[in-house]
Amino acid sequence: MKRINKTVVVKVGTSSITNKQGEISQQSVAKICAEVADLKNAGNKVVIVTSGAIAAGLPFLGLAGKNRPRDSATLQAISAIGQGSLIGNYREELANHGLLAGQVLLAPLDFFVRSQYLHARNTLTTLIDLDVVPVVNENDAIADDEIRFGDNDRIAALVAHLVEADLLVLLTDTPGLFTADPNMDSNASLIEEIIEVNQEMEKYAGGSNSEIGSGGMASKLAAAKIASWSGVRTVIADASRSDILRDACSEKSGIGTVVHPRQERLGARKLWIAFAVGSKGQITVDKGARKALEARASLLPSGVIGMQGDFEIGDAVEVVDDESRIFAKGIVRQNADNVRATAGLNTAQLPEGVSHEVIHTDDLVILP
């Protein structure tokens, strides 16, 4: 393989490494690790982001297949049982190619709190510098349901930003994004290139077709959107396709759905705000406030003309204009009661102890 010296993040979905019973397929893990070794031998740096801890833990309790539980507490406990086995699978198969795996468990706050973000980045880059293959998973066992990702697609996109990757490969059990569900519509065609992930593209993505995975094509497309805003090229492709990682790295055409990077890029914190954290409400602003926000000003109470939702300080909200168009998203410095009470007031009229800013410009993202 031609030496290309890229940094590649490979995301492996649960459905890509499990059998029909929902148990880990060592053969599938071996196939992916062999292709990772191929990339490494060509001079590339590779990070694996993998799902599958729950699938790896189920057989130990006799809960695979139809016996799989549904409640989150049990599934989190099972992930704790399976995580060691999962990394063991990767460690064994990578060792067959003379490679060493290093496990990294991440949580959403590792991307949001700057000190944790820097620690995560330093750990990953040091592992890469040591010629180790980082194997990343979300820390499912202790993740808070309110802030956890729930799938590894978005976490893979944020890891791609973290390590300044050139390429994100989202491996799944389908060839890519189609114009319709190919299982339901014989006229469905593969979308080979996406310049920008917009509403037209998003409408093609449905939910997960897998009983054992938590993601789906909508999740893949959301991750590709994050990566695009990080300046990272994304390929969504079938994990079972021969030499898929080599072909994706070589930019071979027709191997899946390619999402091109944007020229304009967001930093890690604003990526989190825009794409990784859920909105707890909406704040409506007047025309003057919208113009000021788009010029990188903070949102002041004087520009607020309405609101919806029940949010606290530190929550994310959408910002809409007077025609109900969402154009921004940010982290609030006032709770819902204060925003409601101070809407339209000038700074001098604000009660003592209430933040002069509803959303600070550093916590605000203007959306496309």
224 and 297 fall within a common domain: no
126 and 235 fall within a common domain: yes
The pLDDT assigned to 65 comes to 81
Q: Which residue, 161, 160, 137, 139, is CA-closest to 148?
A: 139
Question: Long-range contacts made by residues 127-130, C-beta under 8 angstroms, separation at least 24?
Answer: 127/102, 128/7, 128/45, 128/47, 128/163
Residues (pLDDT < 70) of the chain are 1-4, 142-151, 206-215, 276, 368
* Dihedral pair phi/psi, residue 324, rounded to 5°: 65, 25
Which one of 236, 270, 304 terminates a domain?
270
Residue type, 298: S
The pLDDT assigned to 206 comes to 63
215 and 149 fall within a common domain: yes
Cβ contact 52:12 at 8 Å: yes
Look at residue 133 and tell me if it is in a domain.
Answer: yes
What's the Cα-to-Cα distance from 10 to each of 39, 133, 172, 242, 364, rounded to whole Å?
A: 11, 11, 11, 15, 30
266 and 287 fall within a common domain: no
10 Å Cβ neighbour count for 182? 14
Q: Residue 358 is part of which domain span? A: 279-366
Look at residue 2 and tell me if it is in a domain.
Answer: no
The pLDDT assigned to 270 comes to 84
Look at residue 31 and tell me if it is in a domain.
Answer: yes
Q: Which residue, 266, 272, 271, 191, is CA-closest to 231?
A: 266
Residues with Cβ within 8 Å of 131's Cβ and at least 6 positions away in sequence, in order, are 100
Look at residue 321 and tell me if it is in a domain.
Answer: yes
127 and 216 fall within a common domain: yes
142 and 172 fall within a common domain: yes
243 and 353 fall within a common domain: no
244 and 357 fall within a common domain: no
Q: Cα(103)–Cα(9) distance, rounded to whole angstroms?
A: 14
Helix (H) or strand (E) holding 114: helix 114-129
Q: Which residue, 89, 1, 12, is CA-closest to 38?
A: 1
The pLDDT assigned to 207 comes to 46
Tally of domains within the chain:
2
Predicted TM-score of the model (pTM): 0.82
Q: Cα(228)–Cα(310) distance, rounded to whole angstroms?
A: 31
203: tokens are 């409408």
Q: What is the CATH number of the domain that holds 327?
A: 2.30.130.10
Which one of 270, 299, 324 terminates a domain?
270
199 and 308 fall within a common domain: no
Q: Cα(6)–Cα(249) distance, rounded to whole angstroms?
A: 8
Look at residue 1 and tell me if it is in a domain.
Answer: no
Q: Which residue, 202, 189, 191, is CA-closest to 256?
A: 191
The pLDDT assigned to 147 comes to 42
158 — alpha (psi -120 to 50), left (phi > 0) or beta? alpha
Query: What b/e readout covers 196-218, taking b as 16+ CB neighbours within 10 angstroms?
Result: ebeeebeebbeebebebbbbbbb
10 Å Cβ neighbour count for 54? 27
Q: What is the CATH number of the domain that holds 107?
A: 3.40.1160.10
The pLDDT assigned to 212 comes to 42
The pLDDT assigned to 239 comes to 95
191 and 246 fall within a common domain: yes
pLDDT digits (tens, 9 = 90+) for 173-208: 899 999 887 878 888 899 999 998 877 777 777 644
265 and 293 fall within a common domain: no
Q: Which residue, 268, 223, 253, is CA-closest to 10?
A: 223
CB-facing half-sphere around the CA of 240: CA atoms within 13 A: 10
Look at residue 246 and tell me if it is in a domain.
Answer: yes
153 and 29 fall within a common domain: yes
Look at residue 221 and tell me if it is in a domain.
Answer: yes
Look at residue 115 and tell me if it is in a domain.
Answer: yes
Which one of 270, 294, 327 terminates a domain?
270
